[in-house]
């Protein structure tokens, strides 16, 4: 359960359905004022591009924050990626985590990577590991400058203000690599926000979201057949 209100991006929809959903989302932000037509068009284009990029990268879910529990937007995007079979066939969480860390620390520009001790390299990059039930979670923070418009959403899910003025803001992206219990799979949950100035608070929020997430068992054939059809 995500705190506040979120819009789920139509990753699996056809082009027409996706365009209609994006248009409705943007229209809800800016209304139909003629002087905001350019802003709406720019936002639709950016949002469509970010959804396309996420879909091509293998994203299975993408959500954009609309407001928190207090009704205030906090400019956050959550994207989930499935990474089946990328780290071997072992379902042992510790081994999977070690392989993920090895992949994350190899070939990083400017990093001094000791192949015999990838965990030290991971920690030097600000990475941390913690347990979540039977899973191991690897967390890494990426900070960067990003184009920002209006009320402060980043380029991938930008929300322009009434004047449509662009500016530069720092963004924070926190990647959580989570081992799937009883499986050789790893899930990547990436949370991004342009509220980098509030990094400690955003990191606490992101950690809470990941901690509260629960694994859902795949439905059986009987359950799928019994499910109501819309």
> What pTM was estimated for this model as a whole?
0.76
Reading phi first (left if > 0) and then psi (alpha if -120 to 50, else beta), residue 34 is in alpha
* Tokens 């993408």 sit on residue: 62
Mean pLDDT over 82-93 rounds to 88
CA 208, CA 113: separation in Å to the nearest integer? Answer: 31
SS3 184: coil
Return d(Cα 32, Cα 35) in angstroms, integer.
9
Q: pLDDT tens, 19-78?
A: 999 999 998 888 888 888 898 899 899 889 989 999 999 899 999 988 665 555 567 899
Query: What is the three-class DSSP state of 23?
Result: helix
Which whole-number Å values give the CA distances from 102 to 116, 142, 189, 217, in the listed order?
10, 17, 18, 29
Q: How far is CA 100 from CA 174, 177, 219, in A?
A: 15, 8, 28
Tokens 């960067």 -> residue: 144
Tens-digit pLDDT profile for residues 175-221: 999 999 999 999 999 999 888 888 898 899 899 888 888 777 655 55
Using a 10 angstrom Cβ sphere, with 0-12 exposed, 13-18 middle and 19 or more buried, the burial of residue 141 is middle
């Amino acid at each position: 359960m995500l705190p506040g209100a979120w819009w789920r991006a139509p990753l699996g929809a056809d082009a027409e359905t996706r365009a209609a959903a994006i248009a409705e989302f943007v229209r809800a932000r800016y209304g139909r004022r003629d002087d905001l037509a350019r802003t709406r068009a720019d936002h639709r284009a950016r949002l469509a591009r970010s959804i396309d990029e996420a879909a091509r990268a293998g994203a299975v879910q993408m959500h954009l924050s609309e407001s928190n529990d207090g009704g205030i937007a906090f400019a956050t995007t959550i994207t989930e990626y499935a990474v089946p079979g990328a780290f071997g066939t072992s379902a042992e969480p510790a081994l999977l985590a070690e392989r993920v860390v090895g992949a994350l620390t190899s070939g990083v520009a400017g990093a001094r990577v000791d192949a015999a001790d990838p965990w030290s390299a991971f920690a030097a990059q600000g990475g941390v590991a913690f347990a979540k039930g039977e899973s191991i979670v690897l967390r890494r923070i990426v900070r960067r400058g990003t184009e920002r418009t209006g009320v402060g959403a980043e380029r991938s899910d930008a929300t322009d203000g009434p004047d449509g003025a662009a500016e530069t803001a720092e963004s924070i992206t926190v990647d959580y690599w989570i081992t799937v219990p009883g499986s050789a799979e790893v899930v990547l949950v990436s949370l991004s926000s342009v509220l980098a100035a509030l990094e400690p608070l955003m990191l606490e929020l992101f950690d809470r979201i990941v901690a509260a997430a629960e694994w859902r068992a795949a439905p059986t054939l009987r359950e799928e057949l019994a499910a109501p059809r819309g």
